[in-house]
Chain A
């Protein structure tokens, strides 16, 4: 008798063993179909149409690439908002990493006993409410009544319009973003440093490497994957910056729109002006910008011997 040919009797035990994993992973796919895939396709569809939710389903007008042309043209705020976003991103992002890396290095090498305490304190800004913090910073920035101008006054400086001067607005917003995320990056780098084995350093010491050489030839290369990860998060996050400028400057982005980010502009277009097609087109353009910057970051990190 062939064992194989024998029909297996149906048993609940075997049935549920086979299908349990599919059942367990299914919620994600069901939710993604409803709240992810379908909406994404719909949003791509809308990007080529003129439509407001008030027009009702089905009453959209095909406009081809008009939405994209409008966004990239000179009459709209989209380009300006994109430039604002990148500029604020650079102003907050570069200092974040320039400060976080040395801080992590100091905590790791010189303050080992207090690592937990320092990382908890530095991590605090990351978990707090952006709206609440923006209100606190808005009061610090207040032109006539804020602490910053008070302290400046004590030093004999003229009051500064932190949130009123279009030239200063990007810096004021970037400072809040910097404050919120520098600790998060420090903690990331710290955990990257902790993952590097002491043996490597000891071997280098035996070979006569000095402190600087160890940092340049061991720490930095081995920290590459973490730096890549941290950079990626910073890029993706800064390109979607919304809450801080929205709260500090109102939805228009302050005088001259100097603090209007792309996320704010898309939000206004979609939910204030109800121009869903145009807003969808802009959100895809922003997606493209984020994608391009991420690829650029990827390229910079995978070049010359980074074997991640």
Chain B
């Protein structure tokens, strides 16, 4: 080995192995390959969206951007009967309403479980955690029936965002964070000053839990934006309710038919993915650390 005991015992955050540069080559090659494989489908969808339909499948394949973005946008407007912007808005509306309501109700409940002592608290919290064991799939049929036969919400966007507003995962995440990040004395002090209970939540707690709100916000936004099965089941398929994933299914389903406008479809793929990339890249560090910190505690 190239290290001596003295080097290893050296103080500091981590004893650094004095590796020769060439020994690190395989490691870097491996990591770059992993990153390349992660990114290449994204890259290709942008490349394809910038070439005329007829050239999406040419050999050798295009590896660099073309100049047909505008043309493919027009193609997309044609194959969607001009509904693409509307579909984008439908998806955005559902994702935003979902996110805001989830953040509100989950942080409120998480705050109650973290900072109050009340009769039945342990049992109620255990019950909430217990519901996480139910696989979402088991809920598909019964929730459709409730929406269809009881509430008559099938075909309406609220069928997608109302049921998940206060969810077990969000409450758990919020409670974990609030317990570790906010001192109870702070709440007491605000109470002494005469704040109402909701006032304390709004004026003291909310501003202090911004980091975890960002985490849950991104996760909820991404989940709602990507909700394909829910939209399929709740039949958001009319022109004024269709979301992007359903539109993608309509245009690009059934795999590879050469006669469809592939440039337009790739344009729609890009439009579906761009907001996710933006939201995630803005908050990636926060999201990753927030998600993994609550992973195995309790």
Contacts and interface: CB of A to CB of B under 8 A. Distances in A.
Asked if A and B bind, the verdict is yes
Contacts of B131: 32, 36
A247 B37 contact: no
Contacts of A128: 42, 226, 273, 276-277
Contact of B34 (A34, A122, A192, A198): A122
B222 to A, nearest CB: 5
Contacts of A32: 131
A106 B30 contact: yes
A142 B296 contact: no
A50 interface: no
Interface stretch (B79-87, B133-141, B208-216): B133-141
Given A42-B145, A163-B255, A191-B292, A131 B138 contact: no
Contacts of B277: 124, 128
Interface string B40-52: 0110110010000
Given A16-B196, A248-B255, A120 B137 contact: no
Contact of B105 (A27, A187, A240): A27
B222 A226 contact: no
Contact of B148 (A53, A130, A198, A242): A53
Contact of B143 (A29, A39, A228): A39
A94 to B, nearest CB: 18
Given A21-B121, A286-B137, A31 B197 contact: no
Contacts of B254: 250
A142 B254 CA distance: 11
Contacts of A263: 137
Given A226-B295, A263-B137, A136 B38 contact: no
A119 B225 CA distance: 22
Contacts of B109: 24-25, 27-28
Contacts of B262: 139
A139 B165 contact: no
Contacts of B296: 192, 225-226, 228-229
A147 interface: yes
Contacts of B145: 39, 42-43, 46, 53, 276
Contacts of A124: 38-39, 42, 277, 280
Nearest to B159: A35
B126 to A, nearest CB: 13
B288 A271 contact: no
B226 A133 contact: no
A132 B146 contact: no
A118 B136 contact: no
B229 A242 contact: yes
Nearest to A192: B296
B265 interface: yes
Interface string A158-180: 00000100000000000000010
Interface string B277-295: 1001100110011001101
A137 B41 contact: yes
Interface size class of A (residues with CB under 8 A): 35 or more
Given A22-B118, A53-B149, A129-B272, A120 B285 contact: yes
A236 B108 CA distance: 28
Contacts of A22: 112, 118
A103 B269 CA distance: 29
Interface string B223-258: 001101100110000000000110011001111101
A21 B162 CA distance: 22
Contacts of A139: 48, 56-57, 256, 262
A129 B226 CA distance: 5
A195 to B, nearest CB: 8
A65 interface: no
Nearest to B275: A129
Interface in A219-254: 225-226, 228-229, 236, 239-240, 242-243, 247-250
B39 A121 contact: yes
A131 B140 contact: no
A109 B185 CA distance: 40
17 contacts: A25-B108, A27-B109, A43-B141, A53-B148, A124-B277, A125-B41, A129-B248, A129-B272, A129-B273, A132-B272, A140-B41, A191-B289, A191-B293, A202-B9, A205-B9, A250-B254, A267-B229
